[in-house]
Amino acid sequence: MKDKLFLDTNVMLDLLGERLPFYDSVAKIATLADKGKVKLIVSALSYSTVFYLLSKFEDSEIVKEKLRKFKVICDTSDLTDMIIDKGLSSKFSDFEDGLQYHCALKADANFMITRNGKDFIESEIPVMTPDEYLISMKDR
Protein backbone atom coordinates (compact mmCIF):
# COMPACT_ATOMS: atom_id res chain seq x y z
CA MET A 1 0.00 0.00 0.00
CA LYS A 2 1.40 3.38 -0.96
CA ASP A 3 1.65 6.15 1.62
CA LYS A 4 -1.04 8.82 1.57
CA LEU A 5 0.65 12.10 2.44
CA PHE A 6 -1.39 15.11 3.48
CA LEU A 7 0.56 18.26 2.66
CA ASP A 8 0.04 21.24 4.92
CA THR A 9 -0.36 24.58 3.15
CA ASN A 10 3.18 25.68 4.04
CA VAL A 11 4.65 22.65 2.26
CA MET A 12 2.49 23.21 -0.83
CA LEU A 13 3.67 26.83 -0.81
CA ASP A 14 7.31 25.70 -0.52
CA LEU A 15 6.87 23.54 -3.61
CA LEU A 16 4.94 25.89 -5.86
CA GLY A 17 6.80 28.98 -4.70
CA GLU A 18 10.13 27.14 -4.97
CA ARG A 19 11.02 28.51 -1.55
CA LEU A 20 14.56 27.75 -0.48
CA PRO A 21 15.86 25.94 1.50
CA PHE A 22 12.63 23.93 1.72
CA TYR A 23 11.95 23.34 -1.97
CA ASP A 24 14.30 20.41 -2.66
CA SER A 25 12.81 17.94 -0.20
CA VAL A 26 9.19 18.62 -1.13
CA ALA A 27 10.13 18.49 -4.83
CA LYS A 28 11.47 14.96 -4.22
CA ILE A 29 8.13 14.03 -2.62
CA ALA A 30 6.27 15.52 -5.60
CA THR A 31 8.44 13.40 -7.92
CA LEU A 32 7.50 10.30 -5.91
CA ALA A 33 3.84 11.21 -6.40
CA ASP A 34 4.34 11.80 -10.10
CA LYS A 35 5.88 8.31 -10.36
CA GLY A 36 2.91 6.81 -8.46
CA LYS A 37 4.95 5.80 -5.41
CA VAL A 38 3.02 7.98 -2.94
CA LYS A 39 -0.35 9.69 -3.00
CA LEU A 40 -0.52 13.41 -2.18
CA ILE A 41 -3.54 15.08 -0.65
CA VAL A 42 -4.18 18.73 0.19
CA SER A 43 -7.13 20.60 1.58
CA ALA A 44 -9.28 22.59 -0.84
CA LEU A 45 -8.52 25.53 1.45
CA SER A 46 -4.82 25.32 0.54
CA TYR A 47 -5.47 26.17 -3.11
CA SER A 48 -6.95 29.58 -2.33
CA THR A 49 -4.32 30.36 0.30
CA VAL A 50 -1.42 29.41 -1.98
CA PHE A 51 -2.94 31.33 -4.90
CA TYR A 52 -3.40 34.43 -2.74
CA LEU A 53 0.18 34.35 -1.42
CA LEU A 54 1.98 33.45 -4.65
CA SER A 55 0.04 35.96 -6.75
CA LYS A 56 1.59 38.74 -4.66
CA PHE A 57 4.94 37.82 -6.28
CA GLU A 58 4.00 36.24 -9.61
CA ASP A 59 1.47 36.87 -12.35
CA SER A 60 -1.86 35.28 -11.40
CA GLU A 61 -2.05 33.28 -14.65
CA ILE A 62 1.35 31.73 -13.94
CA VAL A 63 0.16 30.82 -10.44
CA LYS A 64 -3.01 29.26 -11.83
CA GLU A 65 -0.93 27.17 -14.24
CA LYS A 66 1.26 25.96 -11.35
CA LEU A 67 -1.89 24.98 -9.44
CA ARG A 68 -3.29 23.15 -12.49
CA LYS A 69 -0.07 21.12 -12.85
CA PHE A 70 0.05 20.40 -9.13
CA LYS A 71 -3.56 19.21 -9.15
CA VAL A 72 -2.60 16.43 -11.60
CA ILE A 73 -0.42 14.73 -8.95
CA CYS A 74 -2.54 15.58 -5.92
CA ASP A 75 -5.98 14.70 -4.58
CA THR A 76 -8.11 17.29 -2.83
CA SER A 77 -9.82 16.81 0.51
CA ASP A 78 -12.98 18.87 0.46
CA LEU A 79 -13.66 21.46 3.11
CA THR A 80 -17.16 20.45 4.18
CA ASP A 81 -19.59 21.74 6.75
CA MET A 82 -18.68 18.80 8.98
CA ILE A 83 -14.94 19.62 8.70
CA ILE A 84 -15.63 23.24 9.64
CA ASP A 85 -17.64 22.12 12.67
CA LYS A 86 -14.84 19.76 13.73
CA GLY A 87 -12.27 22.52 13.26
CA LEU A 88 -14.32 24.91 15.37
CA SER A 89 -14.65 22.42 18.20
CA SER A 90 -11.11 20.99 18.02
CA LYS A 91 -8.35 21.55 20.55
CA PHE A 92 -6.13 23.19 17.94
CA SER A 93 -5.25 26.73 18.92
CA ASP A 94 -5.09 27.71 15.24
CA PHE A 95 -8.40 27.26 13.44
CA GLU A 96 -6.75 26.69 10.04
CA ASP A 97 -4.57 23.91 11.50
CA GLY A 98 -7.72 22.26 12.84
CA LEU A 99 -9.28 22.40 9.39
CA GLN A 100 -6.17 20.95 7.79
CA TYR A 101 -6.00 18.14 10.33
CA HIS A 102 -9.64 17.15 9.93
CA CYS A 103 -9.27 17.21 6.13
CA ALA A 104 -6.31 14.84 6.53
CA LEU A 105 -8.37 12.50 8.73
CA LYS A 106 -11.25 12.55 6.25
CA ALA A 107 -8.84 11.61 3.46
CA ASP A 108 -7.39 8.70 5.49
CA ALA A 109 -3.88 10.16 5.24
CA ASN A 110 -1.05 8.08 6.73
CA PHE A 111 1.19 11.09 7.32
CA MET A 112 0.82 14.82 7.85
CA ILE A 113 3.68 16.62 6.07
CA THR A 114 4.34 20.08 7.49
CA ARG A 115 7.14 22.33 8.64
CA ASN A 116 5.09 23.27 11.70
CA GLY A 117 4.94 19.99 13.59
CA LYS A 118 4.42 21.77 16.91
CA ASP A 119 1.05 22.94 15.59
CA PHE A 120 -0.13 19.32 15.31
CA ILE A 121 0.81 17.97 18.75
CA GLU A 122 -2.72 16.58 19.13
CA SER A 123 -2.48 14.62 15.86
CA GLU A 124 -3.32 10.93 15.70
CA ILE A 125 -1.54 10.85 12.32
CA PRO A 126 2.28 10.82 12.31
CA VAL A 127 3.53 14.35 11.64
CA MET A 128 6.80 14.87 9.75
CA THR A 129 8.71 17.47 7.80
CA PRO A 130 9.42 16.62 4.17
CA ASP A 131 13.03 15.79 5.11
CA GLU A 132 11.91 13.51 7.95
CA TYR A 133 9.51 11.69 5.64
CA LEU A 134 12.22 11.11 3.02
CA ILE A 135 14.56 9.73 5.70
CA SER A 136 11.80 7.46 7.02
CA MET A 137 11.35 5.97 3.54
CA LYS A 138 14.96 4.83 3.53
CA ASP A 139 14.36 3.00 6.82
CA ARG A 140 11.51 0.93 5.35
Per-residue model confidence as pLDDT tens digits over 10-63: 999 999 999 999 999 999 999 999 999 999 999 999 999 999 999 999 999 999
CATH number of the CATH domain containing 12: 3.40.50.1010
Q: How many domains does the chain have?
A: 1
Helix, strand or coil for residue 43? strand
In tens, the pLDDT along 90-130 reads 888 889 999 999 999 999 999 999 998 888 888 899 999 99
Domain that holds residue 129: 3-138
pTM of the complete model: 0.94
pLDDT of 140 strictly over 80: no
Per residue in 35-48, pLDDT (tens digit) is 999 999 999 999 99
